[in-house]
A and B are shown apart, each in its own frame.
Chain A
Amino acid sequence: MDVMGYRADRESLVDALKSVYSLVAILVLWEVVGQLGLVHHYFLPPLSEVIDRFVVLTVSGQMLNAAVLTLQRAFIGLAIAAVFGVIVGILCARNAFVEWFFDPLIKIGYPVPIISLIPVFMLWFGIGDISKIIMVAVGTFWPVAVNARNSTRQVDKNLVWSARMMGTSDRRLLWRVILPAASPGILTGIQIAMPLSLIITFVFEMVAGGGGLGALEIAGVRSFRSEQVYAAIIAIMLIGIALDRLLRYARERLLAWT
């Protein structure tokens, strides 16, 4: 099974059909059940109505606005975390004092549900964009820093020695050897942090409002428009798939040598 890179090696049409039949079956079932009213309309509107609502929201620009808001918050927060996380991670691997200081913080930070801090951030920074961005940055800092630290530590010492014997000074070593060697691990950290950035943003939006896909979705519940809830979920799914592909593609290009 290859969920991460959904198999593209299926060639014949039959094979292709075989791989999607379950999805098609479910979609068809959805529409049929919905149309027949086998389940109350509120719980499961027919697929066609969901798609309809999706289109309406897209055309009116609401879907796009919401998506842009959510993505902005998640990305900016993630970008900040990436910069600081990599710096701190590398420092931890390099400097004994930084490592000593951050080690227990990392151990504690790992299982702590960062989501529980949302009310704190609401208190400190309000319910606007800034608050969400900061929260994402704080939440995604840990996976990035930990991965950066570990992959820097695990750089093959023979590579370092080779560079040294060929005349590379301490200062140049970071840029010429350590960073490139650690880059797969660092990128993995960012790949792990990305879904987390979205989760934090969604939950924050659902709790505090302020636009975005999370807010759009919960509004659907509150206004009894279940098609909106489903439509928002589909949008989220599409965005999630797109981002996943994007990151995977970026990885292939940047790390062609792995």
Chain B
Amino acid sequence: MDGSISISNLEKVYGEGAERTKAIEDLSFDIEGGEFVSVVGPSGCGKSTLLYLIAGFLERSSGDISVDGTSVSAPGTDRGVVFQDYALFPWKTVKENVLYGLEEAGVDGEEADATAQRFIDMMDLDGFEGKYPKELSGGMKQRVALARTLAYDPKILLMDEPFGALDQPLREQLQDRLLDIWEDLGKTVVFITHDVEEAVYLSERVLIMTRHPGTKKDVTEVNLDHSQTREEVITSQAFTDTKNAVWKELREETKSEVEP
């Protein structure tokens, strides 16, 4: 029970007849429990589709996705998702949003309250418990989304370009926060992004997808020493090399898309 994900020969097809398109083709990939993996690829390669298939929001056309050995085909509390547009319940306050998963799990009042508060504090949101999403900035909303998803303790975190809508300084702050949380809580993280630097900075492995129809192009190992400061990591040789390697592969995919 460690949150491993096993994807074999995954395919996803949309539409019928003349409008049939294949979003994902014969994708096979394994993620170990507790790993932090990023997925990058050119636009339209099916990164989000892959995430939603793992999450169980979409039905796969063929192949298998298994979590800890059991096939998954529907949403479940073992896989929490963080969306790019936050998806907070606008009619609920910050606290009520974070409490949601706990309520659904049947956790009782006092305990739920304490747990929710813990995660609110963890995401530096204390003081904002009673605010509605409309009163929050983008960065704060994403922190609420994270707190909400973490609160009910899913083994796996699926993140769909969560920091894409935020500006650079905020993004960096949240990236570091995410790493801290990951180290503390030991969850499996699957992180979608189009930002190669972000992918290399955060993950242990980077899955590079081909252009549409998406399949596994390559997997790059990342070996960075995160005991250093952010500055040091970013300017290290390892970072630059890995980043360039990933970039090279991505460029190939994008180029072949542009040229006939």
Contact = CB atoms under 8 A, between A and B. Distances in A.
B87 A156 contact: yes
User: Which one of A158, A162, A163, A164 has the highest number of Cβ atoms from chain B below 10 Å of its Cβ?
Assistant: A162
Interface residues of B, number: 26
B155 interface: no
A168 interface: yes
Contacts of A165: 55-57, 75-77, 79-81, 154
A180 B101 contact: no
Most B Cβ at <10 Å: residue of A167, A180, A183: A167
A81 B45 CA distance: 48
Given A167-B77, A167-B105, A257-B132, A162 B57 contact: no
Instruction: Give the contact-size bracket for chain A.
Output: 10 to 19
A166 B90 contact: no
Interface in B64-114: 75-77, 79-81, 83, 85, 87, 89-92, 100-101, 104-105
A161 B90 contact: no
B255 interface: no
Given A166-B100, A167-B101, A161 B132 contact: no
A159 interface: yes
Chain B, interface SS category = loop
Contacts of A168: 104
B36 interface: no
Chain A interface mostly: helix
A106 to B, nearest CB: 27
Given A162-B83, A165-B81, A258 B89 contact: no
B134 interface: yes
Contacts of B154: 165
Closest 5 CB pairs of A and B: A158-B87, A167-B104, A166-B101, A164-B75, A257-B132
Interface of A: 156, 158-159, 161-168, 177, 180-181, 183, 255-258
Interface of B: 55-57, 75-77, 79-81, 83, 85, 87, 89-92, 100-101, 104-105, 132-134, 148, 152, 154
